[in-house]
Amino acid sequence: MTAAEPLPARVLTLERTRIPIHGAHRPFTKRPLAITDALDFWQFAGAAANVVMQMAHPGVGYGVAESRVESGSLLKHPWKRGRTTTQYLAVAILGTEEERNALREAINVAHRQVRSEPGAPVKYNAFDRKLQMWVAACLFVGFEDTYQLLNGRMNDEQREAFYATASTLGTTLQVTEDQWPPTRAAFDEYWVRACQDAVLDDFVRSYLDVLINLRMIHWYLRIPFRGLLKFLTAGFLAPHFREQLGLRWTPADQRRFEHLFVFVGFVNRFIPRPLRHGGSLALMADARRRMRRDKPLI
C-alpha cells in the first residue's frame, strides 16, 4: 500500500462505493440475523475508515473539523471521543426507547454548538437530518461490512433481516423512520446517490491525515500501531473513498486483507459471544449507570 495521486472521478456504482465480500455466509443460528449480531469487538478495526466515509461529505467533514465543542474533539480528546461514539452505538442498538431518548437529549446539547458561521464556504448544522442520515448510513455500512468479513456474505433474506433492525443508528438522533430507506435495496440506491456528494477537499483531507497517521496520540503508541491502522483503514474503504485519500491498494493488499479476516473469522467462532460482545455490553452498562446517577452521558 503506497501513497498515490487521487484518480479522476468515475461513475459511481455499488462496486465503487462498497468493499468486496467473498465467501458464503457461515450460519451460526437459525433465527433471523439482526444488527446485534455484529457487535463483535472486531468492529473497531474499521472505525477510522468509517470516520473517513462520514467526513467525506463536506457538511459532516467541516462540521467535525471546525467544531467548537473542544471536549468532543477527535484530535484533542481521542479517547473520550472514542468512548462517546462507541457508547452511542451501544445505546442505539441495545438500549430501550427511553435510554435512546436520554442519549439524544445529551447529544443535542453539544450539537447546538455545531453550525457553520454566516458566509462560510461550506454550510452545515449538526441538526441537519440529511447529514445525520449520511452518518447513520456510514455506520450501518461499517457494521455490515465487518460482520460479512467475519462470517461470509449474507444472502438477500439475511441482509434484509439484518437491515430491518438497523434504523436506530439514525433515529436515536433526528433521523425519522420514514427517512430511513424502507428496504435493503432502497438503501443501496440511497447509498450510491449519496456518495455522489461525498467528496474530500484538502482541508478535510489534512484533518483525516492526522487521524490516520495517529499524530494526535503519543509517539510510543503511534509507532507500533500506525502501519496496522493505515492498512485496516485502506482495506475497509471502497475505491471511491480510498482514492480520495490518495492511497493505492494493490491486489496483493486485498488478498492480505481478506486472508486476515478469514483467519480472524475462524478464531472468532471459538470465542464465546459474551466475550466478543463484551465491549458493547460494558458500554451499555456504563450508560445505564450514568443515567441512574444523573451523570453526563457525553
Highest mean pLDDT among 70-79, 111-120, 199-208, 219-228: 199-208
**Percent of the chain clearing pLDDT 70 (strictly above):** 93
For 39-87, give the DSSP string. --GGGGGGHHHHHHHHHHSHHHHHHHHT-S-GGG-TTTSHHHHHHHHHH
pLDDT at 4 over 50: no
Summarised one tens digit per residue, pLDDT across range 81-105 is 788 899 999 999 999 999 999 999 9
Q: What is the dihedral of CA 215, 217, 222, 228, to 10 degrees?
A: -80
Residue 33 neighbours by CB under 8 Å, 6+ apart: 154, 158, 161, 162
pLDDT attached to residue 37:
95
The residue that leads in pLDDT, 62 or 5, is 62
Helix axes 156-164, 184-195, angle to 10 degrees: 80
Domain spans, the chain:
2-285
Summarised one tens digit per residue, pLDDT across range 198-213 is 999 999 999 999 898 8
